[in-house]
Amino acid sequence: MKLSELRIASLEFAFSAALPIGAWFILLSPDAASGMPFLQSAGSFLAHAFTGADVSPTMRVHYILLTVLPLQLLLLSVMTWRQASLTGQCRFWCIYLGWVATVIAIALFYWPSAIASALATYHAGKRTVI
């Protein structure tokens, strides 16, 4: 069975979301010495990262972009898979959001995600009529 370009793009978008999701998993996992349960530790970290007074604006923007990136990549994965089932073509917004996700990944220095997202955007737009 041959995969279409959009299905390949969908799988690449899903793959590129793995690194930011893994980063969140590491950030939210509790410290072994703290002895706190997982949810309490995760809630404490999230409260500190997004509302803490001592967190710099640069770090806050980093955490916001780190939140947006995997959500956007997973949404693109689902939407390109759906477009492959329906029309076989990807619309302009799909390509545009793919490049935005690539730029966000580059800004966060997540190069494997940026490369996979750029390849996915290329495959999504390969046979697209805008």
Close Cβ partners of 92 (under 8 Å, ≥ 6 residues apart) = 128, 130
Is 34 a member of any domain? no
3-state SS, one letter per residue, for 22-72: HHHHHHHCCCCCCCCCHHHHHHHHHHHHHHCCCCCHHHHHHHHHHHHHHHH
The mean predicted confidence, pLDDT, of the chain is: 87
Query: Residue 87 falls within a domain, yes or no?
Result: yes
pLDDT confidence of residue 6: 85
pLDDT attached to residue 109: 92
Helix (H, G, I), strand (E, B) or coil at 3: coil
Q: For residue range 54-111, what is the model confidence (pLDDT) as tens digits?
A: 989 999 999 999 999 999 999 999 998 888 777 766 778 888 999 999 999 999 999 9
Contact in structure between 4 and 108 (CB atoms under 8 Å) = no
Q: How confident is the model at residue 44 (pLDDT cuts 50, 70, 90)?
A: confident
The verdict on residue 26 lying in a domain is no
Total domain count, the chain:
1
**Residue 90, domain member (yes or no):** yes
What is the pTM for the complete model shown?
0.86
Residue 40, number of CB atoms within 10 A of its CB: 11
89 located within any domain: yes
Which of 4, 1, 7, 128 has its CA nearest to residue 79?
7
* Domain carrying residue 108: 5-17+57-125
71 in a structural domain:
yes
Q: What is the largest CA-CA distance in the chain?
A: 56
In a domain, 67, yes or no: yes
